[in-house]
A and B are shown apart, each in its own frame.
Chain A
Amino acid sequence: MSTASVPLPNWITYGLMPFLNLVVAFLISGVVVWFIGESPLDAVTLLLQGALGNGEGIGFTLYYATNFIFTGLSVAVAYHAGLFNIGSEGQAYVGGLGAALASLALDHYVPWYVTMPFAVAGAAIFGATWALIPAWLQAKRGSHIVITTIMFNFIGAAMMVYLLVHVLIVPGKMAPETRVFLEGGQLPKLDWLIAMFGGKLGPAPFNVSFLIALFMCVVVWVLIWRTKLGYEIRTLGASPTAAIYAGIPYVKTVIITMLISGGLAGMMALNPVLGASARLQVEFVGGAGFVGIAVSLMGRSHPLGIVLAAILFGVLYQGGDALSFDMPKITRDMIVVIQGLVILFAGALEYLFRPAIVRVWQRFGKA
C-alpha cells in the first residue's frame, strides 16, 4: 500500500509541508546565487534590507503585494471550483481599460472617492468580461479552461496594444499610453499608514488599493465559506459529478465563478493604473497574473494564506530590485528564477516529502 492515503494532521499538511517545500526552493535559489559567484547570505541580507529596511522599502513591498493579493484571490476562487484560471494576467490587463476609462471620464469633475467606486466597478466588469468566453467555452463546449485562458491572454495583449497605440494614445506623443489622470482620477497614497509605524513612505506608490485588496480578502472568505454559492463552488471543485447529482447547476456555477475570478483579477489594475502611474500603459501587469498562481498555491487558496504569500512575493520583488543595484551580477531575473522554483516545489512537487513524512509520522508521531 502506498503512503498516499495515510491521513496526516493539519499542522503537517498546511504548515510543515509547505514550509519544507519553500525551504528547498530557497536553498536551490541560494545554490544558483553561489554558482554565479556571489554569497547567498549577503544576497539574503541585502534583499531583506531593501524590502523591509525602511518605510520606502516597505511601501514598495506592500505595493507589489497588493497586486499579488488580487491575482492570488482570482486564481484561488477559480481553483476552489476545480478551474485553473491561468488568464488572470489577461483579465487584469483588460481590467485596466475599465479602470482607466472611469478615471478618464470623471477625473475633471469629481474627487477621487467618487471616482473610486466607478473605477472598481469598471475594472471588475472588464476583467470579468475577459473571463466570460473561456468560462462559457469550458461550461458549454468542454474546452479546457487552461488552454482558452492562455489564448485570451494573448488576444487581450494584442487588443490592448492596439487600443493604446491607435485609440487611447495622446495625439502627438510617442509613448503608447493614456494621458495622466488628474487628482480626481488617482487613488491617494497611504503615507499616513506608514507614518503610524514611524516610517516615511517617500516615493513608494503604496496606495488605497491595498485596503481594497484586504477588503476583497474578507469578501472572498465570506463567499467561499459562508454562502450557498461558495458551498456550490467548493462542491463542484471537490467532485463535479457529485455536484451535478446534488442538483448544483454546472454551467451557471462555472460561469459565475469565472466571472468573480476575472473580476478580482481586473481589480488588480487599480493599483498600478490609478494608484501608481496615474495612466494606462502597455504591459502594466508585468506578470502579476502568473505570480498569482504561485501566491494562490502557497496560500493554499485561503485569503489569509494568500496575503502572507503575496507579502513574501512583494519582499522578493522589492528586495530583488534593491539587490540588483548592489550586486550587479544578480539581475532582476533572479526573482523569476525564485518564483519558478517556488511554483515548482510548492505547487507541482507539493507531495515530494509526503511519503518520507508519513513514514516518520507512523513511526514516532502516533505513539
Chain B
Amino acid sequence: MENLDLISILGSTIRLSIPLIFTALAGLFTERAGVFDIGLEGKMLFSAFAAAVAAFMTGSPWLGLLAGITVSVLISLIHGFASITNRGNQIVSGVAINFLASGLTAVLGQAWFSQGGRTPPLAASARFTEIVFPYAAELRDTGFLGRFYANIISGHNILTYLAFLAVPASWWVLYRTRFGLRLRAVGENPGAVDTAGISVTFLRYRATICAGILCGFAGTYLSIAQSAGFVKDMSAGKGYIALAALIFAKWRPVPVMLACLLFGFLDAFANFMQGKSVPGIGEVPVQIFQALPYVLTCVLLAGFIGVARPPKAGGVPYVKER
C-alpha cells in the first residue's frame, strides 16, 4: 500500500460521518421513547429535497435548513400520528415513509425542474461552505500536526461542527433533564410514566419531533453542504447505516458518535482502497467494506461483543385503557 494518506482518509471520514451522526441521534430520541423508527432514511431524503429546493429558490442556506427541518418534522408527525395516536404498526409506518420519500421527491423534482429528479445546481452562496480557521493555510505544510489542523480541525462547514455539538447536547437532554428522564422512562415502562400523571402520547410526540429536527440537519447536510443540490435517492441507505450505528452503540449518545465515525471510516477507507491492491492479498473488493457495518452490527446482536439491549417498550403502542 503505497502512501496511505491517513489525513485525507480521516478528513473524508468526518465528512461521511456527519449525516450518520445526526440521523443516529434522531433515532436515539425516538427509540429511547419506545417508537421504532425505520423511516429515518425517508426523513433524511425528504429534508434533503426540501433544503435543496428552498436554498435554490431563496439563495439562502439557512432558509434551506429551515425548510429541511420543517419538512422532516412534518413527516415525523405523520409517523407519530400513525404509530402513537392510531397505534398502527411502527415498522409499517416507517416503511411507508421511506417509499413516499423515494417516490415523492423524485416525482416533484422532475415536475418542478425537469432534470431527471435532480434539483438545479446551487451557487456557493446558497450552500454551507467550508469554514477555514485562522492560519490553516499557513500551517498546512508544517508537518503532521499542521496538516491535521488544516484538514481535520479546520475546513468543514458549519453543520459538521453542529453535529459534534449535537452529541453532548443530546446526552445532556437525555441524561440531565427532566424531559430526558421521562423520555427514557417512557421507552422502558410507559405504564409507570402514565401512572405518574405524565402523558405518554405527548412525550412520544415530542421525542419524534426531536428526531425530525435532527433528521432535518442530516438531510440538509447531504444536499446543500456535502453536495450542491438534490439527487434522486441521494440518502442511499445512510438511514439504515445510522440505524445500525445506533444499535452498535447500544442506544447511547457518545458511543453513537463513535460508531458513526467507525462506519464513516469504513466508507472512506473503501473509497481510498478502490483500485488499489494490498501486497499478498491483491485487490480487496469494495463490497466487503460496504457490508462490514451490517456484519459488525449482526455480530454484536449475536452477543459476541457485549449485549445490545433495546428499550423494553420499543415498537409497542401504548394502550391506556381496555
**Which residues of A come within 8 Å of B, CB atoms?**
1-2, 4-5, 32, 36-37, 84, 86, 133, 137, 141, 143-144, 146-148, 150-152, 154-155, 158-159, 161-162, 165-166, 290, 293, 297, 329-331, 333-341, 343-344, 347-352
Residues of A within 8 A of B107 (CB): 32, 36, 330-331, 333-334, 337
A297 to B97, CA, bound (A): 16
Closest A residue to B111 using CB positions: A36
CB-defined contacts of A159 to chain B, threshold 8 Å: 287, 291
Knowing A133-B298, A154-B237, A348-B86, the reply to whether A333 touches B92 (Cβ < 8 A) is: no
- Considering only residues 79-100 of chain B, those with a C-beta below 8 Å from chain A are 81-83, 86-93, 95-100
Tell me if A147 and B96 are in contact (CB < 8 A).
no
Once the chains are docked, how many angstroms separate the CA of A148 from the CA of B111?
37
Let me know if B117 and A333 touch, CB within 8 A.
Answer: yes
- In the complex where A86-B91, A158-B291, A335-B103 touch, is A344 in contact with B82 (Cβ < 8 A)? yes
Tell me the complex Cα distance, A1–B232, Å: 47
Distance to closest chain A CB from B204 (angstroms): 15
Give the distance in Å from the alpha carbon of A219 to the alpha carbon of B36 in the complex.
33
Q: Is the CB of B102 within 8 A of A336?
A: yes
Are B89 and A347 in contact (CB-based, < 8 A)? yes
Main secondary structure of the interface of A (DSSP, over half): helix
> B103's contact among A150, A154, A333, by CB below 8 Å, is which?
A333
Question: What 6 A-B pairs are tightest by C-beta distance, nearest first?
Answer: A336-B103, A340-B99, A340-B100, A348-B93, A337-B103, A333-B106
CB distance from A144 to the nearest CB of B (A): 7
Which stretch of B155-163, B179-187, B216-224, B301-309 is in the interface? B301-309
A347 neighbours in B (Cβ, 8 Å): 88-89, 92-93, 95-96
Q: Please report the C-alpha to C-alpha distance between residue A87 and residue B103 in the assembled complex, in whole angstroms.
A: 21
Shortest A341–chain B CB gap in Å is: 7
Stretch at the interface among B4-12, B190-198, B239-247, B273-281: B239-247
A344 and B110 contacting across the interface, CB-CB below 8 Å? no
Contact B321 A297 (CB under 8 A): no
Contact A339 B88 (CB under 8 A): no
Closest to B321 in A: A2
